[in-house]
Structure 1
Amino acid sequence: MRSLPPLNALIAFEAVARTGSVASAAEKLFVTSGAISRQLKTLDEFFETNLFEKQGRGLALTPTGAAYFQRISIHVDGIRQATRHVQGDELRPVVRLHSHTTFATRWLIPRLSRFQVTHPRIDVRLTTSSEWNDSIDCDAAVRLGGGHWPGYEAMPLVANVLVAVCSPQLIQKSRPIDEVWLAGQTLLEVTSRPDDWNRWCEAAGFAPGTMARKRTFESSTLAYEAAQQGLGVVVAQEILVADELATERLIAPFDVRVDQGTETYYLVVPTGRRHRAGLRELRDALSAPQGIQATPGAS
């Protein structure tokens, strides 16, 4: 009878599949990313097949890896629950929450901080990634889209409005802020959001093809920071640069705001987990008036 796979490698595999990131798994397990990678290699050698494959700069489960994760995740979670029982923590609800990285750092985490103060017994365990992966196992997630995902209940969190922003240092009072001015600036783009500039320019009545100087960043966080440092102009999601706009670290030189309607961020919950302990309190907190700017009529 074939032996069990190395348990350290199994735990590393489950953590990477659950968080969607080697770095995040390393942080959760208090080891280095190199140690996680070595454990994944050990597991691949044990099974004589690859459980992950490269996807861009990250990893994605292969069909074999996804099937294996689906089978073992319930058992690993069972071990966690049994451990909490032995430790006397079985009555503390645990909510596993996943989010896009930029949305988490700029909108979600401050609200989770307040939530933990008012609900100290609910253990919210947040993981992040730059893109959604269907293999992510969580009780709730923040997803960007139209609000309709089979098997999930979706609640809109914010109004998704696009606005062009830049550092105040790019503005010269002697020069009009118009299409000619914009054509002379460097446009900051985000790899995962290739259509933002076209959408904004269409609303502004500008021709994006006349703007030749561009810089591309792999995340919105980097692009927003570059804009603050005066490297160019970026089309930002207004809700994610609200603090910078309020303190004038960024300004909106054009009075053009593009409302994306129902294409926004949602808190989604698998229908089979809607009654999980702690979820109702979390949903209520994130939908509170001081926490959101909801899109009217979205569902």
Structure 2
Amino acid sequence: MRIPPVKSIVAFECVARTKSVGRASEELGLTASAVSHQIANLESIVGQALFFRQGRGLALTPTGEQYLRDVTGALAELNRATERASSQAEVDILRVHSSPSFGLMWLLPRLESFQADNGDIQLNLSCSYEDISFTSGYYDIDIRYGYAHWRDLQVKTLRNEFIAPLASPEYLARHPIHSPADLLAQRLVFSETPLVQWQQWFARFGVSSEHKAFDFSFDRSYMSLETAALGIGVALESMLLASVHLRRGTLIPVFDHTYGVEVGAHHIVCPSQNADLPRVQRFLDWIDRELKSTSGNRAGA
């Protein structure tokens, strides 16, 4: 039986993810020579090189890429087996990582709904701006933002997401807006995040915005949405992320649904072996139900 030491596989996964022996040694709390020794030990067992030098870092060889895919599932199963053995309660743990705006604006307000339907699942939610690695087996799914470009992962894109101008009812009462061109005289909130920016939106509806200055600028959607909800200006943002504000009436679409631009911006990704887990499938089914229940939040609907 040729089973490598777990510490060698862990070192391999860490170097593959960080592309550096130095960074892997810092993360693992080992010396660089100890990490290199573990990699050399693993390569001697496999019988082939797993890495090659690329610039100042390391890259996986074709054998290394295949080996990483294969051991990912094994590490995940070891992690889950240990978790089950150490658990004192019959509770399944679902670990979700999310982009911060989606986690804060969409998931967090709905956790009670998830628990009501899935009381036997403990949902652990982490948020950061980075795409996480699945090779350690810790996370079940990741909810990512942007254009879908991930290889070797199953991707479920959340549909019916629209980008549209949003403002508070109080702001619109003080500043009546009847056409896209009227927005040029308003306080506009600029957000770096949406896949459709103000300049693109104006061009789509035949308005020249070349010289328009923005009163506020943020690098996160939740900041621009909160600013608009405070009645300070008009934000061009995702109605999916704004769904709680729309339901409460703290934000409303400035125009009817024809002025919303559909995007495929949020994606649930996971390795294929995770997609078959009952807790993951139940989470995906719950998200589908929640999206259907709020599908009327399209602009002007």
TM-score band (shorter)? 0.5 to 0.7
How far apart are the structure 1 equivalents of 2:272 and 2:75? Answer: 21
Residue-by-residue CA offset, 1:31-69 (whole Å, 9 max, x unaligned): xxxxxxxxx9976985369xxxxxxxxxxxx967x99xx
| Total equivalences in the alignment | 244
The one-letter amino acid of 1:225's match is E
Look at both structures and tell me which one has the larger radius of gyration over its CA atoms: 2
Query: Relative to structure 2, which stretch is displaced further, 107-116 or 276-285?
Result: 107-116
Instruction: Report SS of the residue matched to 2:210.
Output: helix
1:149-180 deviation per Cα after TM superposition (whole angstroms, max 9, x unaligned): 33222333341101101233333568653455
2:273 matches 1:272: yes
| Contact residue 25 and residue 31 of structure 2 kept, 8 A | no
**RMSD between superposed Cα atoms in Å:** 4.1
**Mapping 1:1-299, distance limit 5 Å:** 47=31, 78=78, 81-82=81-82, 84-89=84-89, 92-133=91-132, 138-145=139-146, 149-171=150-172, 177-179=178-180, 181-193=182-194, 195-255=196-256, 256-261=258-263, 263-288=264-289, 290-291=292-293, 293=295
Distance of 2:286 and 2:28 partners within structure 1: 42
Do the aligned partners of residues 88 and 188 (structure 1) sit closer, same or farther apart at CA in structure 2, a change above 3 Å counting?
same
Instruction: Please say if residues 111 and 291 of structure 1, whose CA atoms lie closer than 8 Å, have aligned partners that are also in contact.
Output: no
SS at match of 1:117: helix
Which residue type is aligned with residue 160 of structure 1? E
Q: 1:190 to 1:74 in 2, by over 3 A?
A: farther
Q: Which amino acid aligns with 2:273?
A: G
Q: Partners in 1 of 2:213 and 2:184 — Cα distance?
A: 7
Secondary structure (helix, strand or coil) at the match of 2:165 reads: strand
Q: CA deviation at 1:279?
A: 1.5
Query: Partners in 2 of 1:79 and 1:148 — Cα distance?
Result: 27
Between the aligned partners of 2:246 and 2:224, the Cα distance in structure 1 is 15
2:73 and 2:273 in contact (8 A); partners too: no
Deviations 1:79-104, CA, capped at 9 Å, x for gaps: 67436514434x54322211111112
TM-score by length of 1: 0.64
Letter in 2 for 1:101: P
Structure 1: 5+ residue stretches without partners: 18-39, 50-61, 295-299
Q: Distance in 2 between matches of 1:147 and 1:41?
A: 31
Q: Deviations over 1:127-165 (max 9, x none)?
A: 112343557852112223455633222333341101101
Structure 1's 213 and 122: CA in aligned 2 closer, same or farther, altered over 3 A? closer
Counterpart Cα distance in 1 of 2:25 and 2:153: 34
